[in-house]
Amino acid sequence: MNMRSFTTKRSTGFTLVETLVAVAIITLAVSGPLFMASRAVVATQIARDQLTASYLAQEGIEYVRAMRDAEFLAAFQAGAAGISTTAWNNFLSNPVSSDSATISGCKASTCTLDPSPDVQMGTGVGLSLQPCTTTCTPLYLVNGFYTQQSDVNGAVATPFTRTVQAFDAAANDERIVSKVTWNFHGTPYTVTVTDHLSPWQ
């Protein structure tokens, strides 16, 4: 008996459903790492800004400490009695000397800090610490230095705003708060550094 074999010819291509499933699997496989990579880039940018803000806030504390030390050196060179007390009082209040580095202007309101070498120490118009009336102005980057001077050639605006404020913690204890704020993709960030200064003994 002669048997004939019947064969069917099957297409070797993909069906539409198989193609859609394959595309969905590839999309899921690729989108996960891409999402993680984009989050890593954002986290790196936030960490960079936080590091910069911490240095700027610490600079505010160090600058106020230098103001206190400058008063001590001035009183020491003058050779007056009670050098430590004189220097401390000059640092806290409005002394007679016009070149004194008083912190008094930063007690009633927050101050911005411009530590440029051509700006004299102290608080007030034209000095390193200037009280903010309503809002404090952001910092500008000029030749690698952060400053309040926006009119300098090549000044680039930064997202950082630095404020410094002094509070009476006790008779011989001044609490200095240096704060740097900035926004990144609509989210506000803040770094605050606090230190206590006392008279030289």
pLDDT in tens, 38-68: 777 777 888 999 999 999 999 999 999 998 8
Is residue 2 assigned to a domain? Answer: no
What is the count of structural domains for the chain? 1
Q: Taking CA 106 as the corner, what is the angle to CA 103 and CA 111, rounded to the nearest 5 degrees? A: 120
pLDDT of 26: 81
What mean pLDDT value characterizes the chain? Answer: 83
pLDDT band at 98 (very low <50, low <70, confident <90, very high): low
Q: How far apart are CA 104 and CA 137, in angstroms?
A: 20
Is residue 157 assigned to a domain? Answer: yes
What share of the chain in percent tops pLDDT 90? 29
Is residue 32 assigned to a domain? Answer: yes
First and final C-alpha spacing in the chain: 122
Question: Residues near 15 by Cβ (< 8 Å), separated by ≥ 6?
Answer: none
pLDDT of 63: 92
Is residue 7 predicted with pLDDT exceeding 60?
no
pLDDT of 96: 46
Between 79 and 49, the higher pLDDT residue: 49
Is residue 189 assigned to a domain? Answer: yes
- List pLDDT tens digits, range 166-180: 998 888 899 999 999
Q: 47-56 long-range contacts, Cβ below 8 Å, gap at least 24?
A: 49/159, 49/160, 49/182, 49/184, 49/189, 50/189, 50/191, 52/160, 53/160, 53/180, 53/182, 53/189, 53/191, 54/180, 54/191, 54/193, 56/139, 56/146, 56/160, 56/162, 56/180, 56/191
Amino acid at 172: N
Is residue 186 assigned to a domain? Answer: yes
Is residue 9 assigned to a domain? Answer: no
pLDDT band at 79 (very low <50, low <70, confident <90, very high): confident
pTM, 2 dp: 0.77
Residue 173, strand partner residues: 170
Domain residue limits at 184: 16-67+101-197
Is residue 136 assigned to a domain? Answer: yes
